[in-house]
């Protein structure tokens, strides 16, 4: 039976984890359907920024949707440590359309705190702070359609951090952005994360993005997705995008991650050429 357990301490000691996933499997469409995830286990420590890279269709979004509580149909255990019950458990940033189109930037960024009744004077101050942190102070009364793609993603990041959840979940939040906007947003995300040290699970196609942002990069196999390998990211904090890319260890680590990922990407392509399963 699938189970999402909420407790103040991990049941998967000895490593205390903020998020512990054990033997997770996910199938779509019953017996004749698609197995998206197969026996995946992963732990994320409190205050850790973990990125998952994997080939297209390997089950990354399926995984993060389960962790976010958006999909309850799975096998295995997903355990989220809810240290402060007054807080939202998770906040999610999607690749696109994370904002409500009928709400202004300010209303969007306020949304999480309003949901849990924390939009008091302190909550409103927090909202103002995060809007400023992502450089949208002049646009707080604008609607999403009045913003550029990069500005919309800034608003989404502000919304997620302002909600102050136990765990922040991001599914390719910058995938649709151009290179320059990405670098700026990466630097902003690094800065905000280093101030808050939130537990983050971040999905991306980009090894570069994963290395720049994370403490640990996890490689998923081709579908059915499971964990193939994991790499600690050694770059000191505080970090900046350019300092990381100029570090000689960056190229070496990039190659190690790519070596792990390459076969999985090729397996995915072969599967597609054969017409799937």
Which residue has tokens 């903020």?
18
Contact status: 61 vs Mg ion (CB under 5 A): yes
CB of 40 to ligand ATP, least distance (A): 11
Residue 56 interface partner, choices Mg ion, ligand ATP, none, CB cut-off 5-8 Å depending on type: ligand ATP
CA-based nearest residue to 52, from 170, 137, 199, 183: 170
**DSSP secondary structure of 98-140:** -S-TTS-HHHHHHHHHHHTT--SHHHHHHHHHHHHHTT-GGGT
Question: Based on CB atoms, which residue is closest to Mg ion, 111 or 174?
Answer: 174
CB of 268 to ligand ATP, least distance (A): 9
Instruction: Choose the stretch contacting Mg ion; rule: CB under 5 A; options: 10-18, 57-65, 154-162, 174-182.
Output: 57-65
Instruction: Choose the stretch contacting Mg ion; rule: CB under 5 A; options: 25-33, 55-63, 66-74, 127-135.
Output: 55-63
Question: Based on CB atoms, which residue is closest to ligand ATP, 182 or 223?
Answer: 223
Paired strand residues for 94: none
Question: Based on CB atoms, which residue is closest to ligand ATP, 28 or 102?
Answer: 28
Provide the binding-site residues for ligand ATP, judged by CB under 6 A: 28-29, 34, 36, 54, 56-62, 223
Question: Based on CB atoms, which residue is closest to ligand ATP, 223 or 226?
Answer: 223
User: Could you tell me if 153 and 174 are in contact, meaning their C-beta atoms sit under 8 angstroms apart?
Assistant: yes
Instruction: Give the number of other Cβ atoms within 10 Å of residue 51's Cβ.
Output: 26
The four Cα atoms 154, 157, 159, 161 give a dihedral, to 10 degrees, of -140
User: Which parts of this chain interact with Mg ion (CB under 5 A)?
Assistant: 60-61
């Amino acid at each position: 039976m699938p189970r999402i357990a909420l407790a103040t301490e991990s049941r998967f000691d000895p490593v205390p984890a903020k998020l512990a996933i054990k033997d997770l499997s996910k199938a779509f469409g019953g017996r004749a359907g698609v197995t998206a995830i197969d026996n995946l286990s992963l732990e994320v420590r409190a205050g850790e920024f973990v990125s998952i890279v994997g080939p297209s269709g390997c089950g990354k979004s399926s995984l993060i949707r389960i962790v976010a509580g958006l999909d309850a149909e799975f096998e295995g255990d997903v355990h989220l440590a809810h240290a402060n019950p007054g807080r939202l458990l998770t906040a999610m940033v999607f690749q696109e359309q994370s904002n409500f189109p009928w709400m202004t930037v300010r209303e969007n960024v306020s949304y999480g705190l309003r949901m849990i009744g924390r939009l008091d004077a302190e909550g409103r101050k927090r909202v103002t702070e995060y809007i400023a942190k992502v450089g949208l102070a002049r646009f707080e009364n604008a609607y999403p359609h009045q913003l550029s793609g990069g500005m919309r993603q800034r608003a989404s990041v502000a919304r997620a951090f302002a909600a102050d959840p136990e765990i922040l979940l991001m599914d390719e939040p910058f995938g649709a952005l151009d290179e320059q906007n990405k670098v700026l947003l990466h630097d902003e995300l690094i800065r905000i994360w280093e101030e808050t040290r939130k537990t983050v699970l971040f999905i991306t196609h980009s090894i570069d993005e994963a290395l720049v942002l994370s403490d640990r990069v996890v490689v998923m196999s081709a579908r059915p997705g499971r964990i193939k390998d994991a790499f600690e990211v050694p770059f000191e904090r505080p970090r900046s995008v350019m300092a990381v890319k100029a570090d000689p260890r960056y190229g070496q680590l990039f190659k190690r991650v790519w070596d792990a990922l390459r076969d999985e990407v090729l397996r995915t392509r072969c599967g597609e050429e054969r017409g799937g399963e």
